[in-house]
Structure 1
Amino acid sequence: MIKGVCIVGLGAIGGWMAAHLSRVEGLRVSALARGDTLAAVRDRGLRLDSGKDSWQAPLRVSSNPVELGPQDLVILAVKGPALVDVAGQVAPLCGPRTRVLTALNGLPWWFTAGLPVPGLALKSVDPDGHIARMLPPERIIGCVVHASCFVQAPGHVRHVQGNGLLIGEAAGGASESVAGLAALLVRAGLGARAVESIQREVFYKLWGNMTTNPVSALTRATTDRILADELVRRFTTDIMREAALIGERVGCPIAQSPEDRHAITRSLGAFKTSMLQDIEAGRAIETAALLEAPRELAQQLGVATPMLDALLGLTRLMDGCRALRSG
C-alpha cells in the first residue's frame, strides 16, 4: 500500500505528476526541491495549469531528504546530467521496500537489466556504477511519459498535451507492485498502464526523440521546420534506421517506419523539443542518454552507426563550444 510519495525533481514532469497525486485522498505527497522552486512552493504551493483547469497543490517540500524521511514511493524526474548527484539524495528517502519510479529521457542506467541479451552495459550514463549502487534495478519501476509540460515559473507548471504513463519493472516481468502503482496513478487522473517490457517502450520513445532533440539544439529549429527540410529529414530517417537495428538486436523491435513517426511529429506543429528548451534556458543537455548510450549499445553489438556518430559528434562539439562561451 502506497501512503507516502516523494517527488525528486519538481520541474515540468515532476511538478505535473506531483500536482495530480496531491488530489488523491489520504496520500502524503512531498517533494525534494531547492532554490527558487523550493521558496515558491513553500510560500504558495505548486500550481498546475492544464487546459481550462488550474489548481494549487500544497506540498511538503525540503532541500534535505533526511527531513522528509523514508517513503513508499519515490518519483525520480530529473534530467540525466543531474543523476549522479541526485542518486545519493534519494537514498535517505528509501526504506527496505521503497520503490523508485524513474521518469527520464533516453536510455537510463537500468535499461540493460531486463534485456534478453546478457553482458551489455551503459557506462555512458553511469561511468563508475555509482547510480546503480545507489539505485539497483530491483528497486526501480521504469516509466515512459507521453505528455508535454513546461515550467512557466518556479513552482508553476503548465501541461500542454498528452496524459500517458507506461510503467514496468526495470528487471522485467509483471508484478503486483507495478499493477498497484498504475491503479494509484489512474486515481490521480493520469493515464497510466502497466506493461510487460518497459525496455521496449523506453527504446521506442528514444527512437522517436533521439534525432529531433539534438537537431533542434544544433539549429534552434522547431520540429516542423526540421521535417520540412528534405535533406535534414533524410538524415534523421537514416539515423532512425540505424537505431531500429540496435533495437532489434536487444529485443526492442520497432514496428513503425521512420515516415510513420515523422507523420506523428508533424501533427505536433511548431513543437519545441525538451533539448531546445534546455539550450534556451542555459541548462545542461541530455547527450549521454539520447545519443551516447544507443551508440554504446551499437558498438557492443557490432552495429555500424555512421549517421548517429555524426549527430553525436556535432552535438558534443556544439555543447563544448557553448560551455567555453559561458565560462
Structure 2
Amino acid sequence: MRSCGASSASMRVTRDEAMKVAIYGAGAIGGWIGVKLAQAGHEVGVVARGATLAALREQGLRLIEGGSTQTVDVQAAEDPVALGVQDVVVVAVKGPAMASVAAHIAPLLGAQTVVLTAMNGVPWWFCDGLHGDFVGKRLKSIDPDGAIAAAIPSAQTVGCVVHASCLVEAPGVIRHHQGNGLIIGEALGRPSERVKALAETLAAAGFNASVSEQIQRDVWYKLWGNMTMNPISAITGATTDRILGDELARNFVTSIMLEAKEIGARFGIPIDQAPEDRHAVTLKLGAMKTSMLQDVQARKAVELDALVSAVRELGQLTGVKTPYTDALLGLARLHASTLGLY
C-alpha cells in the first residue's frame, strides 16, 4: 500500500496551516473532535452511514456544550473515496468496527497522512512501542490476521488517550459533559516533531493537548480502570459509584487490577499506584455510566477484546496467571453474546 514505509519526519502536520481532516467514526468522541477542528478552520470530512450520514448532510455536525449548540458543515460520505487523501485521519470507532475500517481506509491515506487513533483499550499497535522481547508482538485478540496493522502502519500512527466524557444525543448530535484532555504520542513509542506540531494544532482548536514520551504508558494506565468498570457495569447495569460501593464487587475489581499491574510491570510499564488510589479517583467522578453500559443499553456491539481479552493475552505472553481477569472476561462475554452483542 502506498503509505507503507513513510517516515514520521516527512509527514505533513503543520502548526499554522489548515489541514484536511477525516473523522472515521462520528460518534461521541469523533464528533466532538470533528466540531472543534472545523471551528478552528480545518477542512473536516466524515465517513458515516445510515442515519448519521443523512443527519450530517441535512443538518451538519452539531455539538451541545456549555448550554449552547454549535453546528459545523462537514463533507459527509459513506465511501472514503469521496473524501480523498487526508493530512490527518481521526479513527474514533469501537474495537469491533476496526476490521471494517482497515478494509476501507486506504483512499484516505497518502505517504504523509497521520492516523490519530482515539479509542479505548489496547490498540493493534500497542506492542510496537514496547521494548525487548515484546516489540512488534501481534495480539491475536485485537488483530487476529494482521489485517489492521497491514492497512494502518505504525509508522503513520499516533495514539491518543482521551480524557473527556461525551455522548451521542442523536445522529450527528454530540453532547459534551466534562473533560477536555487529549494525550498523544507516536505508536512506535518515541517523541517526534510531528506529534509536537499536532499537539499544538489540537491546543489551538481548544483541547488540553499534551505529548506523551511513550503513549503506551497512558493507554495502559487508562485501561487499568476501564477494563473493570466497563464490563462489570455492562453486566450489572450499575454505575461506577455503586460498583465500588459494594465491598465484594470492589474486592473483585481490586484483584483484577493487581493482575493487570503485574502484567504491565513485566512488559516495562509499571504502575506506581495501588488499586485503592484509582478507586478514590473514580469515586470522585460520581455516578458514571460507562461507555460499555451505554452500548449494551443501545444494543450495540461491545468492545470486550480491546479492554479485557487483550489483557488476558498479555498475561499469557508475560507468564502472569489471570484467574480474576479470566472470570470477568467469561462472564462479560457470555452476557454480551447472549444479547447478540459479541
TM-score for the superposition, normalised by structure 1: 0.97
- 1:305 equivalent in alignment to 2:322: yes
**Map 1:111-150 → 2, pairs under 5 A:** 111-119=126-134, 120-150=137-167
Match of 1:90 in 2: 105
Q: Give SS of 1:239's match.
A: helix
- Indicate the larger mover: 112-121 or 65-74: 112-121
Q: Which runs of 5+ in 1 are unaligned?
A: none
Report whether the alignment pairs 1:17 with 2:53. no
Q: Is the 8 A contact 2:117 2:157 kept in 1?
A: yes
Matched, 1:216 2:233: yes
Which residues of 2 match residues 34-183 of structure 1 at below 5 A? 34-119=49-134, 120-183=137-200
Deviations 1:16-43 (Å, cap 9, x if unpaired)? 0001001113x21111111111111111
**Deviation (angstroms), 1:64:** 1.1
Does the 8 A contact of 1:200 with 1:251 survive in 2?
no
Residue 275 of structure 1, CA deviation: 0.3
**Selected match of 1:262 from 279, 282, 290:** 279
Picking from 253, 277, 284, the partner of 2:294 is 277
Matched residue SS, 1:296 = helix
1:140-198 Cα deviation digits (max 9, x unpaired): 00000000000000010000100000000000111011011000000110111111100
Tell me, in whole angstroms, the C-alpha distance in 1 between the residues paired with 2:309 and 2:266: 17
Question: Are the equivalent residues in 1 in contact too, given 2:91–2:118 (CA < 8 A)?
Answer: yes
- The answer for the alignment partner of 1:203 in structure 2 is 220
5+ unaligned residues in a row in structure 2: which ranges? 1-13
**Residue by residue, what CA displacement relative to the aligned partner does 1:272-301 show, whole Å, maximum 9, x if unpaired?**
000000000000001100000011011011
Shift of 1:117: 3.2
Contact 1:20 1:188 in 2 (8 A): yes
**RMSD, aligned CA:** 1.2
Q: What is the number of residues matched between the two proteins?
A: 324
SS of the equivalent of 2:124 reads coil
AA of the residue aligned to 1:28: E
- Between the aligned residues of both structures, percent identity stands at 56
What SS does the aligned partner of 2:331 have? helix
AA paired with 2:224? W
- SS, match of residue 210 in structure 2: strand
Check if 1:296 corresponds to 2:313: yes
CA distance in 1, matches of 2:56, 2:337: 34
Q: Which whole-Å CA distance do the structure 2 matches of 1:213 and 1:24 have between them? A: 33
Cα distance in 1, alignment partners of residues 132 and 172 from structure 2: 42
Q: Is the 8 A contact 2:166 2:178 kept in 1?
A: yes
Tell me the distance in 2 between the aligned counterparts of 1:96 and 1:116.
27
Distance 2:111 2:317 in 1: 34
**Structure 2 residue matching 1:31: 3-state secondary structure:** strand
Q: SS at the partner of 2:339?
A: helix
Deviation at 1:234, TM superposition (A): 0.4
How far apart are the structure 2 equivalents of 1:252 and 1:292? Answer: 18
Amino acid corresponding to residue 186 of structure 1 in structure 2 = A
Moved over 6 A (4+): none
